[in-house]
Structure 1
């Protein structure tokens, strides 16, 4: 395996990601897939909402460990989820075919819903068709992050709230006619708010299979569409751990970037 800097000339096609595996891959067998691209990595020196933008830093202020807080691994399953969300956005905001669909994404703990898919969705939503969305919000660990997209020459910005005032701010934006999309990380110890504008804003809940996490939300938002994230392919796991190993080497060398 090798690492390439920059954006790939092409990511996986719909046909490559919109499929459900019919059998488990054979262990220790490298099945070539497509163009060989196995994992995309999104890097943010500021971190991501899932970690509350907390990152460990070295003496010079640079992120100390890659992959833990600053790097998000994007695999085919994450792109598949985004394709579904994007199609719904297009129907709602571009073709004006009706209100947005509330989604619930279900997957096993540790499979990469909150940090992986959640962070990837945030990135894609912030880069969605200019002028179509005004804000994107992320609820995680009793905190609400509200991302304002650039508009009318005004730069984008982000605000952080505790959950209750954050929900209040979202309602104010909705009442003001702003168009938004909500990402909500459901945990057993965090009650999802039920007074959100899910009929007029897009939304996706990220949850484990524990129905208690999203039961009230599902009952409140009739017509929710459930999505299910599949397990890692063997080659994706190899790519993931190869990238983590690079992070270990970088840390051992005093955090020198190893990105060749």
Structure 2
């Protein structure tokens, strides 16, 4: 963090500096606990100069959230090569990197902070969720998802979000375990819906055909079979 350093900056450079400083402060503490005076001191400028670039803390908060939202959405970008389970595991690793680095700010964004109820803030949250949804659908190779497939993917994105928020409250479950669990959750949600939707069944069949024996989806199947070794297969109808 920059402290006590004064130098001339252009308007846009100074705004970006303030956004970066604010994002760092909001990432370590709830935005409600961060004052304009602290932001000014960390940026090495006066309080009135902060107000010269931003009319108030909420506008600076929203600008910081804009940068954070763009960065968070980018964590779901992943090359479409290789087994889906491994791809999702890498996505979850980057997602939790962000949550780990910006815990209080992430929680404030999802639970509400000084901009709670702001249409701008709500729109940014929706953009992140939509970007995550579109990336996962693209990984599935589906151009026109059925309503049930859309429900599966959006439910999983919501589950990842709520899991991260719960994890931040004490971090009582190892992060790596949660990353794998969320990949397993995606497989489980897809498998349940595959019994009712032909498109999801086709997607699941293709995904499992590419899954290696040591992949996360294969691991889930092995664990489930070990739980009920004596359950007979259901007769075909």
TM-score (norm 2): 0.31
Structure richer in helix, relative to its length: 2
Pick the structure with more strand per residue. 1
Structure ranking higher on relative contact order (CA contacts 8 Å, 6+ apart) = 1
Structure number with larger C-alpha Rg: 2
